[in-house]
Amino acid sequence: MVELANRTLPLSGFHGGSAVTSLTPAQPAERVSLRARPEDVAALSAALGLSLPTQAKTSATAGKRSALWLGPDEWLVIDEGEGGLMAVLGSSGALHSATDVSHRNTAVLVAGPGAAKTLNGGCPLDLSLKMFPVGACARTLFGKIEVVVLRTAEDAFRVEFWRSFSQYAFGLLQDAAEDAAV
Amino acid sequence: MTKKSFRIKGAGRLTPARTARFTFDGKTYTAYEGDTVASALLANGVHLMGRSFKYHRARGVLSAGAEEPNALIDVARDAARRQPNVRASVQDVFDGAIIRSQNRWPTLAFDTGAINNLLSPFFAAGFYYKTFMWPKEAWAKLYEPIIRRAAGLGVAPKEDDPDHYANRFAHCDVLVAGAGVAGLTAALSAAETGAEVILVDERAEVGGALLFDTSTMIDGRPGYDWAQDVLSRLKAMANVTVLTRTTAFGYYTHNFIGLAERVTDHLPRPGKHLPRERLWQVRAKKVIMATGAIERHMVFANNDRPGIMLASAARLYLNHYGVAVGEKIGVYTAHDSAYEAAIDLKHAGVEIAAIVDCRTHPGEAVVSAARALGIEVLTGHSVLDTAGRLRVSSMTVAPNGGNGKRRIAIDALLMSGGWTPSVHLFSQSRGKLKFDKAKDRFLPGLHVQDGVSIGACNGTDDLPALLAEAAAAGGGTLSVSGSSLYGWTGGMIGAAEGAGPETAVKAFVDFQHDVTAKDIRLAVREGMQSIEHIKRFTTNGMASDQGKLSNMHGLAIAAEMLGKDIPEVGLTTFRAPYTPVTYGTLIAHSRGDLFDPARKTPLHDELATQGAEFEDVGNWKRAWYFPRRGEDMHQAVNRECRTARETAGIFDASTLGKIEVVGPDAAKFLNLLYTNAWDTLKPGKCRYGIMTREDGFIYDDGVVGRLTEDRFHVTTTTGGAPRVLAHMEDYLQTEFPDLKVWLTSTTEQWAVIAVQGPKARDIIAPLVEGLDLSNEAFPHMSVAECTVMGVPARLFRVSFTGEIGFEINVPADYGASVWKAIWERGQALGACLYGTETMHVLRAEKGYLIVGQDTDGTVTPDDAGYGWAVSKKKPDFVGIRGLQRPDLIRENRKQLVGLLTKDPTEVLEEGGQIVADPNQPKPMTMLGHVTSAYWSETLGRSIAIALVAGGRARMGETLYVPMKDKTIAVEVTDMVFFDKEGGRIHG
Amino acid sequence: MFLIKCPYCGDERSELEFRWAGEAHIARPENIAAISDEEFAEYFFLRDNTKGVAYERWRHIHGCGRFFNAIRDTVSDNFLLTYKAGLPRQPVPGPQPVTPDAPEGGAA
């Protein structure tokens, strides 16, 4: 029996924020980049136990599983529970592409009254509640990197990005969180 | 001697109890909190604040705002926190400020550069273009160094900027630029509708002209009080953001506005958490420009002495800062507004020597009000000249066109040539200006973006009309009433009496660049017809103030000389930024670690622990080599190469681009995107693929593994990953949209550990489960999914060294752990860690090409010796037609070959040019260049790869690489230098 | 900085999220292997570079990732229409917008 590999999280040891914004590395989660045509959405939704959103900038959540609309045939499915997304999708019987990106992405939870201001330190989206209500999501930019932003509450966001950008993302979030507190 | 104060008791709005001390050129002064540097110096009787650019003329502060051309100062907290070229009229004084004058030596009062003033006949307009033409040699040695030393005003600090800066993206319904009476009214009107409003003003306080205009009543109150009341109402509204000390510096496409907010420049001891400045990138649904107007100076002889300033500026210094700009003040005007400055000063107890009005019929109300106070008003008169060395001491006055010069002693002279609407933002928005002939001014015409101009910048002079216009622009139902004591009329543009064509006097049009009325006339006489040419010939309006005062005068003088109407001569384009913006603001957070992302692989910390030196590859940090104690790079790389070939080497290949291609049409799609054929590749196998663009040139390469019928693991070069994916997406979405296949970047999903060398299998075998690693079961170019240390992995049997090799892909978070275990095993078996340098040497020994190093975007697969990778059977692939172009199939194309130096110890330089005959006359015929060159420890000699014209037909030929100090003879060879039979790779 | 309405996302987003992708409606010839050198040059190298109303491809690269088509006035920079990739060339919507003169060159 060989020794088992340990997991090292890209944002382990990071903590930060300001008086108005907390920054917390998200727990590891299973993530799948899901691609499919409109005719297969229903079957995939059934397999996942949630309705894959078909409107831009929207997401769907059921329990610990969320599906974020990223493009007309593209979703980021995040499972913070038992996982098993690849198997579930594989058994859906629907034509699709599912690629495991659990380790490609990592995330920071940005929360507090200054959360939107913090993100707008580097993100050009209009994050007002009117334009970006709870549940809204989008792939966009944060400073010089691409991120996926999901609004989880009025004053809370989940920000997903590729792991090699962790230090940059956290550094800019920290800078922006401090400025949001000014 | 006690310092004399020019503060007027009871005047102004600053609190005497709150003072700040600062130094100006080493001398300590006291200011009130809220003072600008200019108002504080004036309060201390200091008018001399700077020297002009060309003639080094003594200059005082001309204005009290953003338009200031003269009083440019250097403001510092310490050596690093220092900014040159700051306008004294907008910089707040803070306790401890170190202010210095600029562009003078040794002192402001005694400046040797002022010799230029006496030499001014040599420095006339266009002197650059005329003077430095010959001798040619003198340019580099003499003229340029002198010009460079003389150019620019302030001196930039050499230290790193210790402050930090911030950025904020914002959206709003209405952005109001300018918080004067119009802007405040519009903002309140909009805010009352519930709209999201951002109101900005460049000054510390809102009010605009109401800061100096004390005779205007709004809603039954003094204008200033009304403004402060509106401000507090706006601040109390959740849908309003008020930003003072904030300049709307640029109006860009689609209602995108740049704001520069100065957060700490006025604070004596700013908290470390505060950014010095904040850049706001605002997208507004509607932009309301309420940017006001700027008073013009009068163009007459010696109109630039310290003590001569705009009338409205003197009024602001009095009514807001409580400072009298002199004790015996003259006024020279073509506009009624200057009378009010004289009246206010007279009320404050200051002697007004005379009001000289070049008009014969000024507004009766102001004239009688002035005369009622005992002020002498000389209508139909002009100021012909002034005197005084470091401060104006007298003015020479005469009736227009007549005799009877009179010299009047003064210590300050206020000017008003009327008001120029601030149409900068409107013009930046690409709106077209129209000329208002009656009032000699350009006004906003058609707004081409969702914007509107209101108030003084729109030429709306009448207060009730202005208030109605502003309220309507805000979109609300707000109604504001207002009245002014006097109506304002008048104004003139161009040169005044006494600055006529025949005189040789200096009547300044552009103060900062020392452009006189004579210079403009000279430009026209020398043939300049267009205002764009006149501007560049004279540099009028090209100083840091961008001609806020000078443009209209310059235009009018040119038009007169040309005998044309002003609209015919045209106007130069206003450009962002409205006032200078620091680099710090524009860069904002992007400094230091945040300048650019430094991408680190999942193994980075482990590599660093093992002593890796890193190199930058794009944004990635890649392990370059692993020096052991006492080793230099060369020794480390030699050891790594030797160990990898003899035993094994372990390498972090995580940065390799990876794209998962999934779907029933995956093979069909790859067939179209690569030159190779993929439908013949069996699951569990890999193939090296070449991707060309439509033009037939190599775009990228990499190993592609087929995991299942409908799933491929594609690898790309490290640097090529994003563009290759974009290139594939482009074809998939727009040319082959019917294919059932999808692409996902998985570069970062996997940590990739390459183990290469004779003992590679021994090292990894104990860690791998569920896979027979034998040559028979898992030969070279195999791929399999298996388990490594309990985690799902993808194992590739591939080699970029020519040795037996494996690339272990594990989910990234497990990478460090697996790496540690492999390195532990490797160490026990005598393996080494190696970096990118050794990787380069090992692959070059085998003649494996690196796209982007050995190819340059003009190399076909055949040129590279990879013609075998181009399918002859496929009906179509990207590049199939491009490869048939005449130039791509002609003889004698540059081809990749090996080069061996005649002297085996000589390592060529990459980029070295190759010739057939080193003795041919220059310019020599180049055959190509060296693309890769290394010392090969394995072979005990140098090796190189080169692109050489007709290279493959030159095998055995001797060619030459001429270098600066020698010529190196080389032999053309095959690209494969080591293990030509390729047996080692199969183990 | 442009504000661009992505036809897939449905709302206007900052130009930062987009990448320009050249002239639109240039289809790759189906029989590309058989076309003449002149036809290949026309397809691959030659572009109109229109001043005024131009048909362009853009990609919402940092958004939904989709390529799409746009009708942009290259003088005023106004987007007259954006539409999904694959749709035929759309007519220029009326009424024609006012286009100001191109800004003149040179520094201020």
* pLDDT of amino acid C104: 44
* pLDDT of amino acid B131: 59
- The 10s digit of each residue's pLDDT in B123-161 is 667 666 665 556 666 666 766 666 666 656 788 889 999
* pLDDT of amino acid B737: 97
* pLDDT of amino acid B128: 60
- Give, for B537, the enclosing helix (H) or strand (E): helix B531-538
CATH number for B69: 3.10.20.440
Domain containing C64: what range?
Answer: 3-26+35-84
Chain C partners (3+ C-beta pairs within 8 A): A, B
Residues of chain C with C-beta less than 8 angstroms from the C-beta of B448:
76, 98-100
The answer, yes or no, to whether residue B182 has pLDDT greater than 50, is yes
Arithmetic mean of pLDDT, B531-560? 93
Question: Per this entry, what is the length of chain A?
Answer: 182
- Residue A7: inside a domain, yes or no? no
Which of B564, B596, B613 represents a domain boundary (last residue)?
A: B564
The answer, yes or no, to whether residue B883 has pLDDT greater than 70, is yes
Arithmetic mean of pLDDT, B316-335? 98
Residues of chain C with C-beta less than 8 angstroms from the C-beta of A124:
13-14, 16-17
- Residue B101: inside a domain, yes or no? yes
Q: What is the DSSP letter of B367?
A: H
- Residue C99: inside a domain, yes or no? no
The answer, yes or no, to whether residue A145 has pLDDT greater than 90, is yes
* Of the candidate ranges B233-242, B316-325, B520-529, the one whose mean pLDDT is the lowest: B520-529
**B587 exposed, middle or buried (CB, 10 Å; 0-12, 13-18, 19+)?**
middle
- The 10s digit of each residue's pLDDT in B415-437 is 999 999 999 999 999 999 999 99
Q: What is the DSSP string of B885-928?
A: SHHHHSTT-EEEEEEEESSTTPPPPTT-EEBS-TTSPSSP---E
- The 10s digit of each residue's pLDDT in B745-777 is 999 999 999 999 999 999 999 999 999 999 999
Question: B572 versus B63: which is more confidently predicted?
Answer: B63
C8:A71 CB<8 A:
yes
> Do B470 and B515 belong together in one domain?
no
- Residue A4: inside a domain, yes or no? no
Answer yes or no: are the C-beta atoms of B180 and B456 closer than 8 Å: yes
Q: What is the largest CA-CA distance in chain B?
A: 116
Give φ, ψ of C79 to 5 degrees: -85, 120
* pLDDT of amino acid B112: 78
> Do B959 and B925 belong together in one domain?
yes
Answer yes or no: are the C-beta atoms of B645 and B637 closer than 8 Å: no
Tell whether C38 lies on the interface with B, counting CB pairs under 8 A.
Answer: no
A131:C11 CB<8 A:
yes
Tell whether C100 lies on the interface with B, counting CB pairs under 8 A.
Answer: yes
- The 10s digit of each residue's pLDDT in B697-726 is 999 999 999 999 999 999 999 999 999 999
- Residue C63: inside a domain, yes or no? yes
- The 10s digit of each residue's pLDDT in A73-109 is 999 999 999 999 999 999 999 999 999 999 999 999 9
Identity of the residue numbered A95: L
Answer yes or no: are the C-beta atoms of B644 and B842 closer than 8 Å: yes
Domain count, chain C: 1
> Do B170 and B288 belong together in one domain?
yes
Tell whether C36 lies on the interface with B, counting CB pairs under 8 A.
Answer: no
Question: Per this entry, what is the length of chain B?
Answer: 987
> Do B93 and B198 belong together in one domain?
no
Arithmetic mean of pLDDT, B183-190? 98
User: Whole-angstrom Cα distance, residue B590 to residue B151?
Assistant: 29
- Residue C75: inside a domain, yes or no? yes
CB atoms within 10 A of CB B97: 24
Distance to chain C for B542, nearest Cα, Å: 6
Answer yes or no: are the C-beta atoms of A159 and A142 closer than 8 Å: yes
Strands B441-444 and B433-436: antiparallel
Answer yes or no: are the C-beta atoms of B823 and B605 closer than 8 Å: no
The answer, yes or no, to whether residue A180 has pLDDT greater than 50, is yes
Long-range pairs, B516-523, Cβ under 8 A, ≥24 = B517/B299, B517/B553, B517/B557, B518/B124, B519/B124, B519/B125, B520/B125, B520/B554, B520/B557, B520/B558, B520/B561, B521/B557, B521/B561, B522/B124, B522/B125, B522/B126, B523/B125, B523/B126, B523/B558
- Residue A151: inside a domain, yes or no? yes
C8:A56 CB<8 A:
yes
Three-state SS for B427? helix
User: Whole-angstrom Cα distance, residue B70 to residue B65?
Assistant: 11
Report the candidate in B96, B76, B75, B90 with the shortest Cα–Cα distance to residue B34.
B90
Q: Is the omega angle on the peptide bond into residue A10 within 30 degrees of 0, that is, cis? A: no
Residues of chain B with C-beta less than 8 angstroms from the C-beta of A176:
166-167, 589
Of B171, B278, B814, the CB nearest to A126: B171
Distance to chain B for A165, nearest Cα, Å: 6
Q: SS3 sequence, B282-317?
A: EEEEEEEECCCEEECCCECECCCCCCEEEHHHHHHH
The answer, yes or no, to whether residue A2 has pLDDT greater than 80, is no
Domain containing B210: what range?
Answer: 166-294+421-484
> CA-nearest residue of chain A to C62?
A140
* Of the candidate ranges B161-175, B523-537, B800-814, the one whose mean pLDDT is the lowest: B523-537
B789:A4 CB<8 A:
yes
Domain containing A53: what range?
Answer: 16-180
CA A30 to chain centre: 11
Residues of chain A with C-beta less than 8 angstroms from the C-beta of B811:
100, 102-103
* pLDDT of amino acid B402: 79
C64:A141 CB<8 A:
no
> Do B178 and B288 belong together in one domain?
yes
Answer yes or no: are the C-beta atoms of C24 and C69 closer than 8 Å: yes
Q: What is the DSSP letter of B767?
A: G
- The 10s digit of each residue's pLDDT in B620-630 is 999 999 999 99
Q: How many CB pairs under 8 A join A and B?
A: 149
Tell whether B532 lies on the interface with C, counting CB pairs under 8 A.
Answer: yes
- Residue C45: inside a domain, yes or no? yes
**In this prediction, what percent of chain B has a pLDDT beyond 70?**
96
Arithmetic mean of pLDDT, A140-162? 98
Q: What is the DSSP letter of B516?
A: E
Residues of chain A with C-beta less than 8 angstroms from the C-beta of C11:
56-57, 131
**In this prediction, what percent of chain B has a pLDDT beyond 90?**
89
CATH number for B919: 2.40.30.110
Per-residue tokens: B366: 């102001």
Cα torsion B787, B793, B796, B802: sign: negative
The answer, yes or no, to whether residue C95 has pLDDT greater than 50, is yes
Answer yes or no: are the C-beta atoms of B521 and B506 closer than 8 Å: no
> Do B221 and B85 belong together in one domain?
no
The answer, yes or no, to whether residue C106 has pLDDT greater than 60, is no
Split at pLDDT 50, 70, 90, the class of B55 is confident
- The 10s digit of each residue's pLDDT in B934-986 is 999 999 999 999 999 999 999 999 999 999 999 999 999 999 999 999 999 99
Residues of chain A with C-beta less than 8 angstroms from the C-beta of C8:
56, 71-72
Indicate whether this model's pTM tops 0.90: yes
- The 10s digit of each residue's pLDDT in A11-29 is 988 999 999 999 999 999 9
Distance to chain C for A104, nearest Cα, Å: 17
B532:C35 CB<8 A:
no
B744:A122 CB<8 A:
no
Residues of chain C with C-beta less than 8 angstroms from the C-beta of B253:
1-3, 77
Q: What is the DSSP letter of B488?
A: -
> What residues pair up with B700 in beta bridges, in sequence order?
B691
User: Whole-angstrom Cα distance, residue B466 to residue A160?
Assistant: 50
The tokens 């309507």 sit on which residue? B472
Q: What is the DSSP string of A1-33?
A: -PPPPPP--TTTT--EE-SS-EEEEPPP-EEEE
Give φ, ψ of B877 to 5 degrees: -165, 160
CA atoms within 13 A on the CB side of B598: 13
Tell me the average pLDDT of chain B: 94
CA B109 to chain centre: 36
Within 8 A by CB and 6+ apart from B438, the residues are: none
* pLDDT of amino acid B245: 98
CB atoms within 10 A of CB B601: 25
* pLDDT of amino acid C101: 52
CATH number for C57: 3.30.2270.10
> Do B510 and B428 belong together in one domain?
no
User: Whole-angstrom Cα distance, residue B399 to residue B780?
Assistant: 103
User: Whole-angstrom Cα distance, residue B73 to residue B91?
Assistant: 9
Give φ, ψ of C75 to 5 degrees: -90, -50
Q: What is the largest CA-CA distance in chain C?
A: 52
Tell me the average pLDDT of chain A: 97
> CA-nearest residue of chain B to C45?
B695
> Do B268 and B181 belong together in one domain?
yes
- Residue B590: inside a domain, yes or no? no
Within 8 A by CB and 6+ apart from C42, the residues are: none
* pLDDT of amino acid B463: 96
- The 10s digit of each residue's pLDDT in B78-123 is 989 999 999 999 999 999 999 999 988 788 888 877 777 777 766 6
Residues of chain A with C-beta less than 8 angstroms from the C-beta of B810:
5
B594:A175 CB<8 A:
yes
Residues of chain B with C-beta less than 8 angstroms from the C-beta of A167:
593, 597-598, 600
> CA-nearest residue of chain C to A56?
C9
Domain count, chain A: 1
User: Whole-angstrom Cα distance, residue C44 to residue C46?
Assistant: 6
CATH number for A61: 3.30.1360.120
CA atoms within 13 A on the CB side of C88: 1
- Residue C101: inside a domain, yes or no? no
User: Whole-angstrom Cα distance, residue B340 to residue B316?
Assistant: 11
- Residue A89: inside a domain, yes or no? yes
Residues of chain C with C-beta less than 8 angstroms from the C-beta of B169:
14
- Residue A9: inside a domain, yes or no? no
B169:A98 CB<8 A:
no
Q: Is the omega angle on the peptide bond into residue B106 within 30 degrees of 0, that is, cis? A: yes
CB atoms within 10 A of CB A15: 11
- Residue B971: inside a domain, yes or no? yes
- Residue A5: inside a domain, yes or no? no
- The 10s digit of each residue's pLDDT in B815-862 is 999 999 999 999 999 999 999 999 999 999 999 999 999 999 999 999
Per-residue tokens: B128: 């650059």
Arithmetic mean of pLDDT, B730-754? 98
- Residue C97: inside a domain, yes or no? no
Within 8 A by CB and 6+ apart from B223, the residues are: B181, B207, B210, B213, B214, B216, B217, B482
CB atoms within 10 A of CB B373: 13
Distance to chain A for B689, nearest Cα, Å: 22
Strands B686-692 and B698-708: antiparallel
The answer, yes or no, to whether residue C99 has pLDDT greater than 70, is no
